[in-house]
Structures are given as C-alpha cells and as structure tokens.
Amino acid sequence: MSDTPIRILIAKPGLDGHDRGAKVLARGLRDEGFEVIYTGLRQTPEMIADAAEQEDVDVVGLSILSGAHMALLPRTVELLRERGMDDVLVAAGGIIPDADVTKLKEIGVAEIFGPGTSIGQIARYFREHVRRPA
C-alpha cells in the first residue's frame, strides 16, 4: 500500500494564535501529494491524540510557537502511545531552543523543523521515515 497517500494530522497545541506557518505547511504538503487533516488552533493534547487515533494518521505534525513545547509535546506523545499509536511519527515545527530539541527527541519526537526548513525537505523526511504496518 505504499502508493496510497501519506496521511498527516496538523495541529496547533496550546494557546498561541499564529497559524500561518501551519496553514502554509498544510497547503505545501497537499501539493506534495499528502492527505492533510487540518484541525486548527488551540488544541489540547487530548484532542490531538483522539483525532489522530480516529484518523489513523501516519504522521502527527505539531506547530508550536508559544514556548510551552516542553509541556505540550511530551504530553501529546504520551497520549498517542497510550492509544497504541506506537508507529505514528511525531514531528514538530516552530521556535524550539537547541537544548530542548535533544530532550524532545529522547522522549519520542522524531524530528523538529525550525525556521527556514523548506516544505520539500519536510515532505522528503516524512516519505523516508513513515512507518506503516505490514
């Protein structure tokens, strides 16, 4: 089933209202042939994990600019694992200090895309790293 489109959920956890980046990425990945489930602003980790579970996505992409990433990202990863979504790829984008990047990768965030990353790079990363059940 490798020829079926990659499904990605794009969400903005927390309270910051800057969704331009998330929308640009959603549109860009659409043009790269992804099926993008866009959930909008101000999502709790619970809402994101529940939506990801129902949508059975390959990737959860979290856009975060508020500085609350060390609270919201680990919680989202934990809730996804609780729901048995061990194979879902979790990635984040936004302003995240290098020191936190290491910690986030340790707890299971696969990759973090900082400012200046091109959509082509992101799409390529997902294509190479998506894990699909046999």
Partner 1 sequence: MNDALTELAMGGRRPLARLLTRIENGDPSVRPLLPELFTAGHGAHVVGITGPPGSGKSTLVNSLITEWRRRGKRVGILAVDPSSPYTRGAILGDRIRMMEHAADRDVFMRSMASRGELGGIAATTWIAAAALDAAGYDPVLIETVGAGQSEVEVARVAETTVVVEAPEMGDEVQAIKAGLLEVADIIAVNKGDRPGADRAARQLRAMLSTAGGRVERKPPPVMVTTAVTADGVAALADAIEAHRSVAREPLEAKERAANQVRRALAELAGRRAADDPSWDETLRAVADRELDPLTAAECLLG
Residues lying near partner 1 in the complex (CB under 8 A): 1, 4-5, 7, 26-27, 29-40, 43-44, 46-47, 50-51, 53-56, 83-85, 133
Of 18 and 27, the one with the shorter C-beta distance to partner 1 is 27
* Smallest distance, partner 1 to C-beta of residue 47, A: 4
User: Looking at residue 134, what DSSP letter applies?
Assistant: -
Nearer to partner 1, 51 or 101 (CB): 51
CA nearest to 72, candidates 96, 55, 99: 96
The length of the chain in residues reads: 134
Nearer to partner 1 among residue 36 and residue 104 (C-beta): 36
* Minimum distance of partner 1 from residue 109's CB (angstroms): 21
Write b or e for each residue in 22-40: b if 16 or more Cβ atoms lie within 10 A of its Cβ, otherwise e: beebbebbeebebebbbbe
